[in-house]
């Protein structure tokens, strides 16, 4: 039987004795289910990141210059020294 009180304190719960008993029984069943996994021989088994047989499907991370500075600034309402000019976000 699991001691629920320490988990109850961590979660800042106030459980009744009946709730503690119920949770303890359910936790015992859960732990018993996971302990069955300990009997499986995994020697020589490689860990998986995914069960699908796929490789890296992402494109190469290559830097490309798509726009010139002038093209990017052409829609800016205000510019200052070839940069976007925006209002101050914080007043000092």
How do residues 68-88 score in pLDDT, each as one tens digit?
A: 988 989 988 888 888 889 888
Give 90's DSSP letter. S
Domain that holds residue 30: 5-39
Calculate the CA 51 to chain-centre distance: 19
CA distance 82 to 48: 50
The verdict on residue 35 lying in a domain is: yes
3-state secondary structure of 60: coil
The verdict on residue 45 lying in a domain is: no
The verdict on residue 52 lying in a domain is: no
Nearest-5° Cα angle at 10, 2 to 21: 30
As for how many domains the chain has, the answer is 1
Q: What is the pTM assigned to this prediction?
A: 0.43
pLDDT above 80 for 4: yes
- Nearest residue to 23 (alpha-carbon basis) of 37, 2, 45: 2
pLDDT by residue (tens digit) across 16-25? Answer: 999 999 999 9
The verdict on residue 19 lying in a domain is: yes
């Amino acid at each position: 039987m699991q001691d629920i009180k320490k988990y109850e304190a961590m979660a800042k719960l106030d459980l009744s004795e009946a709730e503690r008993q119920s949770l303890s029984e359910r936790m015992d069943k859960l732990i018993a289910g996971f302990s069955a996994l300990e009997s499986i021989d995994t020697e020589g088994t490689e860990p998986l990141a995914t069960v699908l047989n796929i490789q890296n499907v992402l494109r190469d991370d290559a830097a490309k210059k798509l726009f010139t500075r002038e093209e990017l600034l052409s829609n800016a309402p205000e510019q200052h020294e070839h940069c976007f000019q925006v209002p101050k976000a914080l007043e000092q």
